[in-house]
Amino acid sequence: MKSKKLVIFVVALMIVFCVTSFAETKKLKRIGVNTFAKVRGDIPTAEVMKTIAEKYAGDIKYGFDQVGMGDVYLPFIDQLKTATFTEKSLPVGERFPWMLFRIGGKVKVWEDVEWAGQKPLEVFIFAVQKDNKNYEFFIPKPCGNIALSKVTEVKVIPPAV
């Protein structure tokens, strides 16, 4: 009887350990190793980043579907072409919901990511609006990966009667 309880306890403990280890924040320490899109040149510009939408549209759709944001894909593609890019440095320790990248030619998504590099990450930030929400995305300069920074509600003021 005691050994049966012990086995059940050990199995339950292992399940809890496995679940918590998979839910852990992923630490991104280096950028430019597993690039989503190849960015040519030493200093990528906003115009170069906009070409990602044309060259990698199918891969972007696949990534958005993986994170459950397939409905944001079309506004993302349409608005990326005309978006205003802002240059920014993400501080070490900055967390974001997900990032698309590529390993061995396959699109992968990391969710719950933290920038854990040794210095701030230089990125281009742009916004996409859909259904009263503002989705802020960023693309790190060295690699062309796509990441969601945050989602905010946009307050809509009803027209006066």
Vertex 56: Cα angle to 51 and 59 (nearest 5): 150
Per-residue pLDDT of the chain (161 residues; tens, 9 = 90+): 567 776 676 666 566 555 544 557 777 777 777 777 766 655 566 677 777 777 888 888 999 999 999 999 999 988 888 888 888 999 998 999 999 888 888 888 989 989 888 899 888 899 999 988 999 999 888 777 889 999 998 777 777 77
Can you tell me which residue has the tokens 């930030």? 125
- Which tokens go with 151? 């989602």
Partners of residue 19 on adjacent β-strands: none
Give the DSSP letter string of 66-98. Answer: HTT-GGGHHHHHHHHTTPPPEEEEEPTT-EEEE
The pTM of the full predicted model, rounded to 2 decimals, is: 0.75
- Which tokens go with 56? 């990698």
